[in-house]
Chain A
Amino acid sequence: MADKTIVCRCSDVTIEDIREAINQGYHSFEELKRVLRTGMGPCQGRNCSPIIMRELSMITGIPMEKLEPGRNRPPVKAVSLGAIAEQKEGNCHE
């Protein structure tokens, strides 16, 4: 049985997939995200991001602190369309 370690639990992406994509020349979190969907799922990269950044650093030789992290996008926490639509005027905290 193949030894598969799932790194991105949202989109079932394995460590092998990630290493292969890095070796193909995708050398940033943002590029890997677009190719593999890592960071696009419900966790928005909270689980996979540190592991992917470490792999990027190990394979490319670029120190972690020099790698650009993925861009954080709103909302911070998943929220239903209905909850946003039904909120009353004046309840919004900017």
Chain B
Amino acid sequence: MNKTADIVIIGGGITGCAIAYNLAKKGMKNIVIVEKKFIASGATGACGAGIRQQWGTEMNCRIAKMSCEFFETANEVLEYDGDIEFKQGGYLLLATTEKEKNQFKKNVELQNSVGIPSKVVTFDEAKEIVPILNTEPFVSATFCPKDGHLNPFHATLAFANAAEKLGVEIMKYTEVTDIIVEGNKIKGVATDKGIIETTKVVNAAGGHSQHIAAMAGIEIPVYSERHQILVTEPVDPILNTMVMSFTGNFYCQQVPHGGILMGRGDEGEPRDGNINSGWHFMDEMSKCITNVLPALKNAMVIRQWAGLYNITPDRQPILGPVNEVEGLYLAVGFSGHGFMFGPATGILMAEMIMGEETSIDISPLNLYRFERDEMVFEPSVV
């Protein structure tokens, strides 16, 4: 079954669905999303479901703010018949070192300068926000009341459904097997359901982006690392706010359904695509969180899972065209924050693909920054 499309977007996560929606809204026709499994079945659906605006670079602050503001009205704007469950209980960020404390101070100034309502809080204030917090391991805290939680499945489905209403075709359970390039130009995408002739392809394949790029003969400097999460059974409201520490290596919040969700990173995590759960994570996570939030020691863990962070050398995404292959665009390497940046990624990539000026300058996120030594380091990542 062969067909033609004006653009093929590879990946049905938040990134691919948001790009498709925005392109369709701008009037582009004949858009196809190809998804190996189902909507949000990859990194998006496995993510920690946190939405924050407390970043350490101006570009990220702007991208996060744009995304957060979109989520605030997304149910209505996308005319979703469900609920994306955006709960703005804030993020309490905790520093464990003097260096981090100083960085947080600078971050808050930067955030405030672009209109993000974050602030440095005292431990007394932190205890008012999160009464069950043990402040002993920390040296300072910042809080942004507009940060929060969002349901990754429903948020992505909201974009996917809105895109479909605008005529976008979503091919679920369809695997890309090759990208056809002739004379340095995109000619089509081969799938297990047939060939799609097209001149434009967006690689939004999350944890598989490097394999998709390789199909077009392009090597991109990313690797995919397993990150794990666990959730407890639903309990009465006890933690309205996301509690997070970069140097403390954890994040934890209660989701609207009542479960308490938490994750942390580990240098020993596999980078071979493995997304099976490991026992070591549950052990470390439990020790860590019962120290920070001792009241959680009686919460019953019911499930753990894992997903892939698609990580770049500077832990910032790669957004932009590939010069060597005309018609190929990358929206990859989100390094663990692709979900919360989803709405902005959709808007900015659609603007770029349509040849418009992007509403936020994302040119620093081009693929070639690594070889030019123009990396954009973000100090605030897990």
- Residues of chain A touching chain B, judged by Cβ–Cβ distance below 8 Å, are 11, 26, 28, 30-31, 34-35, 37, 40-42, 44, 73-75, 78-82, 84-85, 87, 92, 94
Which B66-121 residues have C-beta < 8 A from chain A?
82
Task: Give every chain B residue within 8 A of A26 (Cβ-Cβ).
Answer: 38
Task: Give every chain B residue within 8 A of A41 (Cβ-Cβ).
Answer: 233-234, 302
The answer to whether B300 touches A78, judged by C-beta atoms less than 8 angstroms apart, is yes
The answer to whether B300 touches A30, judged by C-beta atoms less than 8 angstroms apart, is no
Report the minimal beta-carbon distance from A12 to chain B, rounded to whole angstroms: 11
The answer to whether A78 touches B286, judged by C-beta atoms less than 8 angstroms apart, is no
Main secondary structure on B side of the interface with A? mixed
- The 3 closest A-B CB pairs, nearest first, are A82-B297, A84-B286, A85-B286
What separation, in Å, do the CA atoms of A44 and B287 have in the docked complex?
24
What separation, in Å, do the CA atoms of A26 and B339 have in the docked complex?
22
Task: Give every chain A residue within 8 A of B299 (Cβ-Cβ).
Answer: 80-81
A to B CB contacts below 8 Å, 15 in the list:
A26-B38, A31-B38, A35-B154, A40-B257, A41-B233, A42-B233, A42-B234, A73-B303, A74-B277, A75-B304, A78-B300, A80-B297, A80-B298, A81-B300, A84-B282
Which B290-314 residues have C-beta < 8 A from chain A?
290, 296-305
The answer to whether B40 touches A85, judged by C-beta atoms less than 8 angstroms apart, is no
Residue of B nearest to A43 (CB): B302
Residue of B nearest to A73 (CB): B303
Main secondary structure on A side of the interface with B? loop
Categorize the interface residue count of chain B.
Answer: 20 to 34
Residue from the set A37, A41, A78, A81 with the largest chain B CB neighbour count within 10 Å: A81
Known contacts A30-B38, A41-B234, A94-B279; A81/B286 CB under 8 A? yes
- The answer to whether B63 has its CB under 8 Å from any CB of chain A is no
Task: Give every chain B residue within 8 A of A79 (Cβ-Cβ).
Answer: 300-301
The answer to whether B302 touches A85, judged by C-beta atoms less than 8 angstroms apart, is no
What separation, in Å, do the CA atoms of A34 and B37 have in the docked complex?
13
Task: Give every chain B residue within 8 A of A35 (Cβ-Cβ).
Answer: 82, 153-154, 157
What separation, in Å, do the CA atoms of A11 and B258 have in the docked complex?
11
What separation, in Å, do the CA atoms of A74 and B282 have in the docked complex?
10
Report the minimal beta-carbon distance from B40 to chain A, rounded to whole angstroms: 7
What separation, in Å, do the CA atoms of A73 and B134 have in the docked complex?
30
- The answer to whether B41 has its CB under 8 Å from any CB of chain A is yes
- The answer to whether B232 has its CB under 8 Å from any CB of chain A is yes
